[in-house]
């Protein structure tokens, strides 16, 4: 449990650093960090029951859903929260190891790692598409803003 708490904190700080890098207004840093941290915790918990691409898909569904909720509540574009929020789930290490195995001429490992990385990237894209198919009115109702146009 303590490990998950530290990982949550690290994901929050990393996400806030990415928000700073992308010039997100300061008032949104905390929400960006919480969204990224929640996504990471969902991912870690889901890894106990399913594969990395599947865990990434469902964790990113949570990230996109929370990003859309915060965007409605804060009355700002969803990309403010989404771009930095997916940072902990992006398969950067997978890309690194794929390139490493290619350079080391271990093409079997490169193929395996590259294919897993591709599956994770596709899971991220599909989860974004899925949540963006939900009507905006749903998020307004969830935030208690039913009569806003």
Show the CA angle centred on residue 16, arms to residues 120 and 31, nearest 5°.
95
Predicted confidence at residue 28, as pLDDT, reads 96
Q: Which domain holds residue 120?
A: 2-142
Cα–Cα distances (Å) from 95 to 2, 42, 92, 147, in that order, read 29, 22, 5, 46
Predicted confidence at residue 149, as pLDDT, reads 53
Rounded CA separation 141/9 (Å): 30
Predicted confidence at residue 137, as pLDDT, reads 87
Q: Tell me, yes or no, whether 135 lies in a domain.
A: yes
Q: Tell me, yes or no, whether 147 lies in a domain.
A: no
Q: Which residue has the higher pLDDT, 145 or 73?
A: 73
Total domain count for the chain? 1
Q: Tell me, yes or no, whether 104 lies in a domain.
A: yes
Q: Tell me, yes or no, whether 149 lies in a domain.
A: no
Q: Tell me, yes or no, whether 137 lies in a domain.
A: yes
Q: Tell me, yes or no, whether 41 lies in a domain.
A: yes
Rounded CA separation 65/130 (Å): 10
pLDDT digits (tens, 9 = 90+) for 97-147: 999 999 999 999 999 999 999 999 999 999 999 999 999 888 888 888 766
Q: Tell me, yes or no, whether 40 lies in a domain.
A: yes
Predicted confidence at residue 124, as pLDDT, reads 96
């Amino acid at each position: 449990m303590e490990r998950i708490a530290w990982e949550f904190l690290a994901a929050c700080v990393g996400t806030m650093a990415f928000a700073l890098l992308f010039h997100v207004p300061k008032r949104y840093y905390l929400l960006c960090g919480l969204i990224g941290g929640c996504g990471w915790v969902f991912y870690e918990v889901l890894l106990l029951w399913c594969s990395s691409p599947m865990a990434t898909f469902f964790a990113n569904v949570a990230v996109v859903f929370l990003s859309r909720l915060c965007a409605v509540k804060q009355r700002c574009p969803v990309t403010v929260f989404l771009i930095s929020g997916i940072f902990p789930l992006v398969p950067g290490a997978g890309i690194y190891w794929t390139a490493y195995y290619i350079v080391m001429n271990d093409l079997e490992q490169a193929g395996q790692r590259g294919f897993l990385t591709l599956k994770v990237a596709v899971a991220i894209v599909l989860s974004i598409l899925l949540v963006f198919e939900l009507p905006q009115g749903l998020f307004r109702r969830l935030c208690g803003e039913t009569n806003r146009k």
